[in-house]
Amino acid sequence: MILTATQIEAIKHGEPVTVEANEIGTECVVLRADVYARVKRLIYDDSESDPSEAYPLVNDVMREDDAHDPWLESYQTP
């Protein structure tokens, strides 16, 4: 599989990248192994869940979203 520079940067930042897997005729998602391990534990674990385990994932997503939000300061002003 050959990834573009844009896809490589996305993966470096923990973002998922969708790729076409022509060999099997379907789209696949490429994730860094550490991100996959966190997601896998949340998806496949049948034991009682602890919502606090999702906090780091939510923080990562919010941090990225905030970094690209031109209106962020207006939301934070009382």
Find the mean pLDDT for residues 6-30.
Answer: 91
Q: Which pLDDT score is estimated for 41?
A: 80
Residue extents of the structural domains in the chain: 5-76
Q: What predicted TM-score, i.e. pTM, was given to this entire model? A: 0.49
Find the mean pLDDT for residues 46-59.
Answer: 84
Q: Which pLDDT score is estimated for 65?
A: 83
Structure token pair of residue 5: 């520079």
Q: Which pLDDT score is estimated for 48?
A: 76
Tell me the pLDDT band of 39, cut-offs 50, 70 and 90.
Answer: confident
